[in-house]
Amino acid sequence: MAALGREAYLEWQLAFESIDDSALEAELAARYPWLNMSAAEMVAGWIEEVDIGHAEVTITRAIRGRRQLYERVVEMWNDHFNITSSGLTMAWTRAVDERDVIRANAMGTFRALLGASARSAAMVLYLDNAKNIAAAPNENYAREVMELHTTGVGPYTEQDVREVARCFTGWTNHLANAGEAALTFKFDPALHDDGEKVVLGRVIPAGGGIGDGEAVLDILASHPATARHVSGRVARHFITPAPGESLIDRLAGVFTATGGNIRAMVREALSTRCQTHARPKFKRPFHFAVGVARALEATMPHAGQLRLKLAQAGHMPLKWETPDGYPDRTSYWAGALLWRWRFAASLMYNEMTGVEVDVPRLMFGARNVEQIADRIDSIVFGGTMPMLTRVLLEDYLRANNPSNGVMAEALGLAISSAEYQWF
């Protein structure tokens, strides 16, 4: 980043397609061959490790991948369009959803992402749209596609929920025993309510078939409330836990002007004019663990140990049960400090099986107190270590012979410090 400069680095990360991560992806595909399989192939092979493997893939990409910004955007949309994987059928379809819906559309347009999500076999199953038929409409997806995915609470009425549910009747999946089509989306006209509907004041004429659902997605994606709701999500993820109205207005303006171009919104959110609104944000356990492993260049044959640690913290990737996604507020995560201290100690004492931190290599021969503190500042804080933290670390190092073990303890103290828990 220092060599490129801030703006050039941002543009490089935004153009993630040009960043070569093929070696890592080939390694992951060899270890987790289901990554590139269809749901039908997973069914045929009865692959049971997809659920835990999916979490390990997410952790590994975050630690070792070069497309850092892209992975953060993927994380944001996985929370926004949250689907938990409970049971093999959900695990198989969720794996396809993450690849073909979230990752494929993460930096595209919001309308394309929304449409891909609506046709996702995993989303259809998770929010019960497979049960949404003309004779007995199910409102679960209809409610969440507005409340969580698009407009947020407010612009719609209960009548709108009922009408949207009618529009999505017949949006279902092929069954698991359907051969190559197993667990893929299908529209069944026999289950669809083809009468006239009115959604948010817009008439959807009778006889539209599958187009009724597409019309709803068009209405929702272009609604001003959606621009603001999605902008709030982007602002909370990249700028501040409590974005003000002016910040949301700015991002919503980009959403509207670009037709919901996600890359343009992320670029604006990370611009210096928007980052002036930035406030400290408490790291969720995933960000803490991944950040530590990445900063300390921890080596591991796979991410199984980190998956288990994150499960203990209640933040294993892709495992939040309800459709609102993992909480992104300090009050929810601030009570887990003991877990963070134990994580730091386990990592620095190499107590996680197969996970190692090479302290002598990280220290580059630093031996006196000042040199060691400088290296810790560079590794952990990027040169921004608070003075009080530095004083405490130097006092600790002076009181002990700065052996490799003591340097490891000092690193552990740095990543356990209050300052390191915040972005």
Q: What is the pLDDT of residue 350?
A: 87
Last residue of a domain, one of 221, 245, 264: 221
Residue 116, pLDDT above cutoff 90: yes
pLDDT of residue 176: 95
Interatomic CA distance for residues 19 and 13, integer angstroms: 8
The b-or-e profile of 318-356 (16+ CB within 10 A means b, else e) is bbbeebebbebebeebeebeebbeebbbebbeeebeebe
For residues 199 and 297, state if they share a domain: no
Domain check: are 131 and 181 in the same one?
Answer: yes
CA–CA dist 159, 14 (Å, integer):
41
3-class DSSP state of 299: strand
Res 31: pLDDT: 97
Q: Where are the alpha helices (DSSP H) in 368-403?
A: 369-376, 387-398
Report whether pLDDT(98) > 60: yes
**Of all residues in the chain, what percent carry a pLDDT higher than 70?**
100
Residue 335 lies in domain:
285-421
Q: How large is the average pLDDT for residues 54-69?
A: 97
**pLDDT by residue (tens digit) across 127-152?**
999 999 999 999 999 999 999 999 99
Q: Are residues 238 and 337 in the same domain?
A: no
Gap between the Cα atoms of 140 and 56, Å rounded: 30
Question: What pLDDT score does 365 carry?
Answer: 84
The amino acid that residue 327 corresponds to is P
Same domain, 343 and 379: yes
What was the pLDDT predicted at 376?
97
The pLDDT assigned to 253 comes to 98
State the CB neighbour count (10 A cutoff) for residue 219.
20
Co-location of 132 and 229 in the same domain: no
Clarify whether residues 292 and 410 are in a common domain.
Answer: yes
* Cα dihedral across residues 261, 234, 25, 30: positive or negative: negative
Verify that 200 and 245 share a domain, yes or no.
no
Question: How high is the pLDDT of residue 44?
Answer: 96
pLDDT category of residue 3 using cuts at 50, 70 and 90: confident
Tell whether 92 is covered by a domain: no
Structural domain tally of the chain? 3
CA 150 to chain centre: 17
Asked if 295 and 212 sit in the same domain, the reply is no
Please report whether residue 53 resides in a domain: no
CB within 8 Å of 136: residues ≥ 6 apart = none
In a shared domain, residues 289 and 413: yes
Domain membership of residue 72 (yes or no) is no
The answer on pLDDT for 1 being more than 70 is no
CA–CA distance from 292 to each of 81, 97, 315 (Å)? 27, 29, 16
CA distance 115 to 110: 8
Could you tell me if residue 59 is inside a domain? Answer: no
Question: Based on the domain organization, do 308 and 388 belong to the same domain?
Answer: yes
Q: Is residue 330 one of the residues assigned to a domain? A: yes
114 falls within a domain: yes
Q: Are residues 215 and 253 in the same domain?
A: no
C-alpha distances (whole Å) from 222 to each of 104, 119, 228 are 21, 19, 11
Answer yes or no: do 230 and 213 share one domain: no
Q: Are 292 and 343 in contact (CB under 8 A)?
A: yes
Average pLDDT, the chain: 96
Helical segments of 258-303, H only? 262-269, 272-275, 285-295
In a domain, 348, yes or no: yes
Q: Does 47 map to a domain?
A: no
pLDDT for the residue numbered 304: 95
Q: What pLDDT digit, counting tens, does each position of 322-380 carry?
A: 999 999 989 999 988 999 999 999 999 889 998 999 999 999 889 899 999 999 999 99
**Confidence (pLDDT) at 171:** 98
The residue out of 202, 221, 240 marking a domain boundary is: 221
The residue ranges of DSSP E strands in 167-325, in sequence order, are 171-173, 185-187, 197-199, 202-204
Residue 133, classed as helix, strand or coil, is strand
